[in-house]
Structure 1
């Protein structure tokens, strides 16, 4: 039989500036969260150009676009923990030419910078809030500065701020010094500027903020930033250290600001806030679940049905129909006098516990009264992922009580050899989807944003459980990726910097065409073998094995790939491995470790050989929320010298995963990941094979399922 899948939107990779538009949309669609503190021109809690010691609510994701005097700053900021926050800023300055290499010739200078802030003291009755901050601590150093700042509310409407700054924030009227501080800009950027932190001249800054209403704030500050670099190029004419601002916050938290700066300039900004932590659980418009059917007294002892061959068939039919009403698929039912085992496929619910709960409710209504133990085995890509055992009596007694009690009585174990085989007729099956695609290249100094857009058709043919033939084809509607320029070479083979040729020649293009096998080779073990056109640039074979106990926070994996570069037209041909930078190796792979640190923090370490033959490691850290949102970052360092790597020094990026159900408010397992990453380089490049095991497996294991167990009765 065949099956038509609903159209899903494939992952998009929009440019950094587009994050502001994205957050604006999400604020309206999913509900923005008010933030009481004002944000400054750097996109962090502050007065006008100076920081304060205020913090945003835990989990707040903020985007600021600010402009004054030929300078535009776009900042994405995330409150990582209640005290720790990080920010990524992309700035452009007109007619600015920094000294030293590279030889800047463009009329506009683009700069990337990263910030970290930590609140070392919270505000008390007599104690101010105190924050220590590193501004542009990974970058060229143009905005480099450190500060310690204190803020205290002296009345409900008035807040005072005072602080000490180094670097940029110590450049106006310094009153002391803590040793020499390097002043040159780093041409490639991307490296921690630890040799400058809290060194050099020290200057004071401060100000006052008055909020006559909960929407309006007036502020005045004394700035300790003399804009030395900008004055040198004549792009800054400030004649006064005083700045004045007016902030207006709308009900949803959006901040609009107007400023008078340094006696000469007028500035403006908009800040958008969204908090995935408090955005609510996706879904809500789906039909409610059926009630648990409570057995009459003594019914559990009736076993007469086991002599009637029609009972099992009728129970299977009724259960399949009940599950289908909840958009769940019964792949098999193994019925015994006291136990029933269900093979479950969940194409609908992003919260696995919701699929488990609805299946259990349906089982109480369809199965004979003597069946006391319900065993539910969810499968993904044909792999049984967990054995979830529940007591029917507990379901009857605890319905709609606190889900935590049900979780305490639920037994989750490994599903190896626990799932009955699927019923005849379920395989093979076919699914397809159509939607838009957007491919980006960002942070090219000649043009910060380049993109191709078009349409994508995807299809899956599931031959049998665990054996999947899949592919996708794109047709470009327009774009300018064919004008991407390569900024120098690292001396490595060109494994990713041929992007321009793929954009010029690949239309239409086969993005991938693969045959993949997923399996369970042993207890706690999972496997994947994928062969074919693995991604847009490479064909070959990719194999992976994962060790992941169902109750463990730790997982270990290994991947080995044998690849050949594809022709630039992205059809069926292959091309030579020889490139101007050298020969592309055929073999690459990694050893990986995954760990759930708790409180939503997930870490990943990948160590091995990358596409260009360089050896190194990638460290990733994501904060994940029970409703499916994720915010994270990664960094890759290999044996390629930073100077040879090129602009940015090493590969790094930020990613935000958005569950589509939070926008549609209906159940969905689909999501989009927004990636903000540096210009594509050859160093630290990894194969983009689809559906790696860890993300496929872990949602149905104990630690992850417990996080969404509040949806069990929904």
Structure 2
């Protein structure tokens, strides 16, 4: 059964997200496919860069749900989930998952129009499979848009003519048909692109006022399968539509298709760079006290205990943890943990100002070592005089970063007495969802999740998560796996049938620094609902580097779905070599190569766009030595990830959030064990490269 990865959030997080007031400009229309276009036909336009749009289109017997992400100013990516009712004999429905890409080849100029090409449903069943080249031009102060294009595949089924690309060879004359075998879905059929008959399409859009947009198009889609299977009537090639913008985020859509079929829908637009609370709601940052005032207080450098006590109280006011404090001449050295602020630069800025307000005037230099789980990650040296000089400077953020000395911290000061051991815990609602099961496209469980962490010493901790379901229907799934591979994921639904409290994770973890620029981890225990075992990891990540390299080795046993803590017969050794790279401009990539849970060998490529506020959208694909036929439906593992920091919604400083992985299908090939504290994500927030990205918050 297709299954999402676990998701956990603060109460009603998804509901808050959907009612957020992020502002998105609506420059051009979206088609019923949820892509830049008129009604059914595409156009050479794009959504605003970095924005997300969810479109639901409804017509008789046919529902399209589309998630669009404007990956870059030119490139648009789309995932679509469609329901075609009574599509098959016996009145059974077709539940179709598909991906689109739309690329703007040329921006509109003074004379020439914009040009774009696209691939529709290039990796699904091919039900909507099409390719197109399209041009669009704006007139009358951008109120009138004229679009014309040529389409292939589904967009070449009405008014078709011989493929003009046939001048390059007869292979362009014929378009191979989809085999109909479910195991062929998910493959990218390069031999179908721009093949077969082509047809022309076009249309116009008119922006009546700030709210209403009207459109008419000439469609080259004959809706052949819908006519033959679902009773769709198509009497004309002309479609008519209207878009009405209800608010900054919501747009309603209506259309008349083929002269007979009415359709309605809506679009919700969201800009990840526009949080619900743009200014944030942090407590006021400390204001630097005049140096003369500090000197008049008569604090003595020799009073180490008094200085530490004042600083500890000041750190607590800022929700920071002081773990170590020493004085070395005119330098105060601290080890601090930040568990509140998503941006470590903000934590450093507040800590430095509290040091200036709490320590004797004779202390001239502050050395701050950031730790993650007690393990040192980076060391920042700030001069007291620079703080006073730059506090009100117009370019104070940049100058303070340029003057700060950020370096690696392979060692740390011993923790002060009473710092360890530490116990932290939380009790929060959780929900888990499973999508795209043909028996029930949406399933969900809701309940309470209790998590705890007992930090015994720097780097050494015991961690647990226990969940109790309150209500839901994940346990109602009953699709037996037909996988020929070991059932490392395709039996996931069995684990949802266990009643009572469920131990999700129970691990002992040790993080350490083997040397300069190196990080290490050992973990053992129950890693997730399906696997337990032992894991080791080594990461090389120099300060300020865009590149990080890692290696991981795991031995795991599969947990028994019918008992709380028992094991099944399956065990496997897995491991990966990983490369992480920051391309700049919010783009990140990751490549993992190695052995997966089913014993298959291959690699996973992940591309993410992560904004400065922590909002992240990404996509991944995995190819291994498992053949497409042996993998089964979907052909290979792929999906989309969305991570939304809680602070983006509430404005309050917080390091938690909401994460969701959308997989068209979950099978056994290309599966990895889920480990909560992989090193790159644990330590990168304190690396000099990340501190530079977020240094604008140093003075917050």
What range is the shorter-chain TM-score in? over 0.9
1:79 aligns with 2:60: no
Tell whether the 8 Å contact from 1:303 to 1:370 is kept in structure 2 after alignment.
no
What is the distance in 2 between the residues matched to 1:173 and 1:22? Answer: 48
Note the alpha carbon deviations across 1:619-670, whole angstroms, 9 max, x for none: 1010000011000011111111111111111111101100001111111011
Shift of residue 370, structure 1, vs aligned partner: 2.5
1:196 to 189, 192, 197: 192
2:241 to 245, 250, 253: 245
Tell whether the 8 Å contact from 2:288 to 2:357 is kept in structure 1 after alignment.
yes
What secondary structure, in the 3-state scheme, does the structure 1 residue paired with 2:335 have? strand
Change over 3 Å in CA distance of 1:428–1:30 after alignment to 2 = farther
Consecutive unaligned residues in structure 2, runs of 5 or more: 166-172
What secondary structure, in the 3-state scheme, does the structure 2 residue paired with 1:353 have? helix
1:662 to 631, 635, 648: 648
What is the distance in 1 between the residues matched to 2:503 and 2:562? Answer: 9
Aligned to 2:508: 515
What is the distance in 2 between the residues matched to 1:152 and 1:446? Answer: 45
Tell whether the 8 Å contact from 1:511 to 1:570 is kept in structure 2 after alignment.
no
Tell whether the 8 Å contact from 2:299 to 2:360 is kept in structure 1 after alignment.
no
Aligned to 2:232: 236
Shift of residue 26, structure 1, vs aligned partner: 2.5
What secondary structure, in the 3-state scheme, does the structure 2 residue paired with 1:496 have? coil
Note the alpha carbon deviations across 1:678-704, whole angstroms, 9 max, x for none: 332111111011111100010111111
Tell whether the 8 Å contact from 1:26 to 1:274 is kept in structure 2 after alignment.
no
RMSD: 2.2
Aligned to 1:469: 462
1:322 aligns with 2:317: no
Aligned to 1:58: 49
What is the distance in 1 between the residues matched to 2:666 and 2:608? Answer: 22
What is the distance in 1 between the residues matched to 2:92 and 2:47? Answer: 36
Aligned to 2:218: 222
Tell whether the 8 Å contact from 1:487 to 1:646 is kept in structure 2 after alignment.
no
Change over 3 Å in CA distance of 1:518–1:563 after alignment to 2 = same
What is the distance in 2 between the residues matched to 1:666 and 1:38? Answer: 35
Aligned to 2:7: 12
What is the distance in 2 between the residues matched to 1:13 and 1:52? Answer: 38
Tell whether the 8 Å contact from 1:27 to 1:273 is kept in structure 2 after alignment.
no
Tell whether the 8 Å contact from 1:283 to 1:664 is kept in structure 2 after alignment.
no
What is the distance in 2 between the residues matched to 1:572 and 1:23? Answer: 32
1:534 aligns with 2:527: yes
Shift of residue 485, structure 1, vs aligned partner: 4.1
What is the distance in 2 between the residues matched to 1:30 and 1:516? Answer: 40
Aligned to 2:203: 207
1:41 to 29, 32, 35: 32
1:478 aligns with 2:463: no
What is the distance in 1 between the residues matched to 2:25 and 2:360? Answer: 52
How do 1:498-513 and structure 2 match up within 5 A?
498-513=491-506
Shift of residue 408, structure 1, vs aligned partner: 1.3
- Greater shift in the superposed pair: 235-244 or 261-270: 235-244
1:152 aligns with 2:137: yes
What is the distance in 1 between the residues matched to 2:477 and 2:233? Answer: 36
Instruction: Give the TM-score of the pair, scaled to structure 1.
Output: 0.92
What is the distance in 2 between the residues matched to 1:105 and 1:524? Answer: 63
1:336 to 313, 324, 328: 328
Note the alpha carbon deviations across 1:326-351, whole angstroms, 9 max, x for none: 11111111212221111111111001
Tell whether the 8 Å contact from 1:113 to 1:136 is kept in structure 2 after alignment.
yes
Shift of residue 516, structure 1, vs aligned partner: 0.7
Consecutive unaligned residues in structure 1, runs of 5 or more: 1-9, 15-20, 98-103, 578-584
What is the distance in 2 between the residues matched to 1:23 and 1:690? Answer: 22
What is the distance in 2 between the residues matched to 1:235 and 1:457? Answer: 52
Tell whether the 8 Å contact from 1:11 to 1:672 is kept in structure 2 after alignment.
no
Change over 3 Å in CA distance of 1:289–1:140 after alignment to 2 = same
1:497 aligns with 2:501: no
1:274 to 260, 270, 275: 270
Aligned to 1:388: 380
Change over 3 Å in CA distance of 1:421–1:339 after alignment to 2 = same
What is the distance in 2 between the residues matched to 1:509 and 1:693? Answer: 26
Tell whether the 8 Å contact from 2:322 to 2:336 is kept in structure 1 after alignment.
yes
Aligned to 1:450: 443
Change over 3 Å in CA distance of 1:431–1:254 after alignment to 2 = same
Aligned residue pairs, count = 681
What is the distance in 1 between the residues matched to 2:41 and 2:342? Answer: 42
Aligned to 2:420: 427
Change over 3 Å in CA distance of 1:106–1:524 after alignment to 2 = farther
What is the distance in 2 between the residues matched to 1:231 and 1:136? Answer: 20
What is the distance in 1 between the residues matched to 2:619 and 2:442? Answer: 20
Instruction: Give the TM-score of the pair, scaled to structure 2.
Output: 0.93
- Greater shift in the superposed pair: 275-284 or 456-465: 275-284
Shift of residue 198, structure 1, vs aligned partner: 1.5
Aligned to 1:91: 82
1:115 to 82, 87, 100: 100
Shift of residue 483, structure 1, vs aligned partner: 3.5
What is the distance in 1 between the residues matched to 2:53 and 2:427? Answer: 32
Shift of residue 127, structure 1, vs aligned partner: 2.0
Aligned to 1:135: 120
Shift of residue 71, structure 1, vs aligned partner: 0.9
Tell whether the 8 Å contact from 1:506 to 1:569 is kept in structure 2 after alignment.
no
What secondary structure, in the 3-state scheme, does the structure 2 residue paired with 1:705 have? helix
Shift of residue 305, structure 1, vs aligned partner: 4.1
1:181 aligns with 2:175: yes
- Greater shift in the superposed pair: 368-377 or 565-574: 565-574
